Amino acid sequence: MQLRASLFPPCPVPYSLLIRNCGQLLTLAGGPTDRPLTGAALTDWQVLTDAFVACEGERIVAVGPMAALDEAKVTAETVVVDAGGRVVMPGLVECHTHLVFAGNRAQEFQRKLQGESYLDILASGGGILSTVRATRAASEAELLANALRHLEGFRRYGITTLEAKSGYGLDKDTELRLVRVAREAGRRQPVRVVPTFLGAHVVPPEYKGRGAAYLDFLATEVLPELRGEAEFVDIFCEEGAFSVPDSRRYLARARELGFGLKIHAEQLHDLGGSAMAAELGAVSVDHCDYLNAADAGRIAAAGATVAVLLPLVPLFLRQSTYAPGRQLIEQGVPVALSTDFNPGSCPSKNLWLALSVACLKMGFTLKEAVAAVTLNAAWALNRAAEIGSLVVGKRADMLVLDLRDYQEIPYWLGENPVQQVIIGGQAQQDS
Ligand SMILES: [Zn+2]
């Protein structure tokens, strides 16, 4: 055997894909691996200069300085991407979207710009219920075509994993259809889609004034059918939507059925929904614009609940209150950033813009903001073991940016810096 081994040395498995000459490689590595990044760890992660990333299949198998690259594994079969000194980083993780809906609310936006109030628009049949009507009336094929078109837009912005909530059906058939469409959309194109059930978005007209009865209906009739279909259950805890006690009961039932938990809370009022959900073990608490310091402390103490901040929402709604990002970071709360893509309060897929606005309006620093759209956003989807950083063994979701210095990321306000998207080790042709 010894002789055979010396006569026929094992042939190294070639890399299937190599990104070489990364001027700056934002690995996001170096912090704790058992919990989201908080405090100083949000900025302590590693940046390699003049580096490479190599993959076999859909996994990363080597990361390091160019001087350490094993050229023997670079063969004619290897797809080589020469970053030419540019910035390379993990694919963006978009951890809060309402991907699947029909129609749009451009006309309503015009009315708002001309001074009509949200309540005026609601009273005339506008607002979320107009999207519900359009969505209920749309065919499954139409909803799927819309979702695929939006996913393609997200992919061009470098989003490689995306959470997609239901919530514009508000009846059993339509809500199940929306989750089905999200899953099917995930199968038909490369961006990984994580479905969340948000049947508890608002109280539907059929249950007007009977929010608790609607939640009972969802918990009894709909949630059992979603096991294995939707990973998370979410609820909009807000005045005019669902109260904290009703939200608590509903989320507790969802948890018993095995779902991960999320909540929309403290968007417009400080009701205490975020801290309540963190104590139930929610994977994320989202919005947090009106979160108070005491509740932030309770979320930090809960340990693993990520506060998902959505800076484009107050911008689009022309509100002056943004989530207290700086304060949350200083209190040790794990933070992530997302667009909240939806037809009413944020019709933007531009997570780069959200990142810049978080720096401008929430006090994020550059490295904190980058961590918040990658590794911590992966934590907000319970996917941090798989994605969010460039380390050996993780899925090879990566971006080459047309930038030489990552300080430029929040600076080119509203631009898309993505030059090349790689998803699961596959270079996307049209990116
Ligand atoms: Zn939302």
Note the pLDDT tens digit of each residue in 86-145: 999 999 999 999 999 999 999 999 999 999 887 788 778 788 989 999 999 999 999 999
- Asked if 288 and 331 count as a contact pair (C-beta separation under 8 A), the reply is no
| Binding residue numbers | 96, 98, 105, 168, 201, 264, 267, 340, 342, 344-345
| Binding residue numbers for Fe(3+) | 96, 98, 264, 340
Instruction: Specify the pLDDT at position 165.
Output: 98
| Chain centroid, CA 259 distance in Å | 18
| Binding residue numbers for Zn(2+) | 96, 98, 264, 340
- Give distance in angstroms: CA of 205 to centre of ligand 1: 20
Average pLDDT over residues 375-387: 98
Question: Where in the chain are the domains?
Answer: 17-90+388-428, 92-380
The beta-strand segments (E) located in 221-302 are 232-237, 260-265, 284-287
Answer yes or no: is pLDDT of 4 > 80. no
User: Exposure of 198 by Cβ count < 10 A (0-12 exposed, 13-18 middle, 19+ buried)?
Assistant: buried
Instruction: Specify the pLDDT at position 122.
Output: 75
- Give distance in angstroms: CA of 345 to centre of ligand 1: 9
Answer yes or no: is pLDDT of 239 > 70. yes
Residue 164 to residue 229: CA distance in whole angstroms:
12
- Give distance in angstroms: CA of 340 to centre of ligand 1: 5
- Give distance in angstroms: CA of 338 to centre of ligand 1: 9
- Give distance in angstroms: CA of 352 to centre of ligand 1: 18
- Give distance in angstroms: CA of 17 to centre of ligand 1: 36
Q: If you average pLDDT over every residue of the chain, what do you get?
A: 95
- Asked if 107 and 75 count as a contact pair (C-beta separation under 8 A), the reply is no
- Give distance in angstroms: CA of 367 to centre of ligand 1: 25
- Give distance in angstroms: CA of 347 to centre of ligand 1: 11
| Binding residue numbers for N-formimidoyl-L-glutamate | 168, 342, 344
- Give distance in angstroms: CA of 16 to centre of ligand 1: 38
CATH number listed for the domain at residues 17-90+388-428: 2.30.40.10
Residue 90 tokens, joined = 């993990």
Query: C-alpha distances in angstroms, 134 versus 130, 169, 342, 392?
Result: 6, 9, 14, 45
- Give distance in angstroms: CA of 195 to centre of ligand 1: 13
- Give distance in angstroms: CA of 341 to centre of ligand 1: 7
Q: What are phi and psi of 306, to 5 degrees?
A: -95, 130
| Binding residue numbers for 4-imidazolone-5-propanoate | 105, 168, 201, 267, 345
HSE-CB of 176 using CA atoms within 13 angstroms? 11
- Give distance in angstroms: CA of 354 to centre of ligand 1: 14
Residue 220 to residue 35: CA distance in whole angstroms:
33
User: Residue 63 corresponds to which amino acid?
Assistant: V
- Give distance in angstroms: CA of 98 to centre of ligand 1: 6
Instruction: Specify the pLDDT at position 124.
Output: 82
Average pLDDT over residues 273-281: 98
Q: How confident is the model at residue 64 (pLDDT cuts 50, 70, 90)?
A: very high
- Percent of the chain at pLDDT exceeding 90: 92
- Give distance in angstroms: CA of 2 to centre of ligand 1: 62
Average pLDDT over residues 25-40: 97
Residue 282 to residue 275: CA distance in whole angstroms:
10
Q: Which CATH architecture has domain 92-380?
A: Alpha-Beta Barrel (3.20)
Instruction: Specify the pLDDT at position 429.
Output: 84
Answer yes or no: is pLDDT of 277 > 60. yes
